Structure 1
Amino acid sequence: MSLGLEIFAEFIQLVFGLYIFVVMLRFILQLVRADFYNPISQGLMKLTAPILNPLRRIIPGLWGIDLASVLLMLTLKAVELGLLLFITKSSAGVSVLMIIAVAQLIQLAVYILIGSILIRIIVSWINPHAAYQNPVVMLVSSISEPIMRPVRRLLPPMGGIDFSPMLVIFLLFTVLKILSRIVGI
């Protein structure tokens, strides 16, 4: 593959990846019912509204899950993979493309969870009271708390140290490893 095509492929991955990341963040924040009035939530809403609002009129939500966001992410990821296959002159069936798209979206969601837990850990060391002051930390807490709470019940803090983030991160990396073995991403 020529240098120009490699650069174009990287550009496609960057553009699609950033927008899918923004839609995934919005999806996760809606799923955990994060503060809608947070400035970052508002920014995510403004970035995704032009595409998601018309889709929502056609595709309703189900059991608190925004199916329009899921369909948008799947479509964008499948188009990205299709373009990359076209550029590299490779081929894959639609079913294989969709399986890889779903796996990569799950992988992205897991990485967002791991990142939010790590940010929360670092902030708790630097400034334990920042959760009540910083909009980023408030959203990170909103994302990580639903997955941390059940583990914290099983593994309460010992001696003032909370080991539950380590267990959750280990479990999330296990999910990534299983996904890698099944799909090969």
Structure 2
Amino acid sequence: MNNSLGMAAIYVVQTLGGLYVLVALLRFLLQTARADFYNPISQFVVRATQPLLAPLRRVIPGFGGLDLASLVLTLLVQMLVLAIIFLLAIGSLPNILQLLVWSMVAVVALLTKVFFFALIISVILSWVAPGSRNPAALLVHQLCEPLLTPIRRILPNLGGLDLSPIFGFIALRLVDMLVVAELAKATGMPPGLTLAL
């Protein structure tokens, strides 16, 4: 029974903590992509992160158009989630440096997942609802543009056929294989930890 309660507690922490990490990361990404601030989804992200972000902004300034405070918030929440999971699972904490490195790996893994699913949604919407003015569709498009624009500059013009999402998927998969997986292995990150968050 105790084991079942522990597993249930870990599941709740992973789910709720992972959702908040996602929202905090979206705050960083949406500001980086200069997404529409008045979009209802953007408004939700701002309201959900503002209470924790406001104090951080007093001590962490932005740099070069990047909202570093929201990135730090993402890392801090990820560290807290990992710390609680370790306490529940084995009753002790890894050292703080290891926790920080594992949190950074988990955030990069989440970043690749966000772009991966945003690209999938964007491609599907371009087939079934091209030019949609739905707030979610517009936000997905704005989120994908920073990833796809550099690829479009390199690719030759193929007469209206946009192959940039294919190369975007390839780039994301390479980052996942060569950066995330190798960093997780090199830092001794427990298997499956990035997948759980």
CA distance in 2, matches of 1:9, 1:23: 20
Q: Which runs of 5+ in 2 are unaligned?
A: 186-193
Q: 1:5-63 deviations in whole A, cap 9, x for unaligned?
A: 00000101111111111111111000111111111111111111111112212222122
CA distance in 2, matches of 1:54, 1:94: 22
SS in 1 for 2:74: helix
Q: 1:8 to 1:162 in 2, by over 3 A?
A: same
CA distance in 2, matches of 1:67, 1:42: 19
Mapped contact 1:156–1:162 kept (Cα < 8 A): no
Amino acid at match of 1:50: P
Greater mean alpha carbon deviation, residues 92-101 or residues 116-125: 92-101
Partner of 1:183: 184
CA distance in 2, matches of 1:17, 1:139: 21
CA distance in 1, matches of 2:60, 2:31: 16
What's the offset of the Cα at 1:108? 0.8
Partner of 1:67: 68
Corresponding pairs, count: 183
Q: 1:62 to 1:159 in 2, by over 3 A?
A: closer
SS in 1 for 2:70: helix
Q: Does 1:145 align with 2:145?
A: yes
CA distance in 2, matches of 1:145, 1:69: 20
Partner of 1:36: 37
SS in 1 for 2:71: helix
1:14-25 aligned within 5 A: 14-25=15-26
CA distance in 2, matches of 1:120, 1:87: 38
CA distance in 2, matches of 1:157, 1:46: 41
What's the offset of the Cα at 1:157? 4.9
Mapped contact 1:61–1:68 kept (Cα < 8 A): yes
Q: 1:122 to 1:156 in 2, by over 3 A?
A: farther
SS in 2 for 1:64: coil
Identity of aligned pairs, percent?
35
CA distance in 1, matches of 2:39, 2:87: 40
**TM-score (normalised: structure 1):** 0.93
Partner of 1:172: 172
Mapped contact 1:156–1:164 kept (Cα < 8 A): no
Amino acid at match of 1:25: L
Partner of 2:59: 58
Q: Does 1:9 align with 2:7?
A: no
Partner of 2:162: 162
SS in 1 for 2:37: coil
Q: Which runs of 5+ in 1 are unaligned?
A: none
What's the offset of the Cα at 1:158? 2.6
Q: Does 1:111 align with 2:113?
A: yes
Mapped contact 1:148–1:168 kept (Cα < 8 A): yes
**TM-score (normalised: structure 2):** 0.87
Partner of 2:189: none
Q: Does 1:96 align with 2:98?
A: yes
Partner of 2:190: none
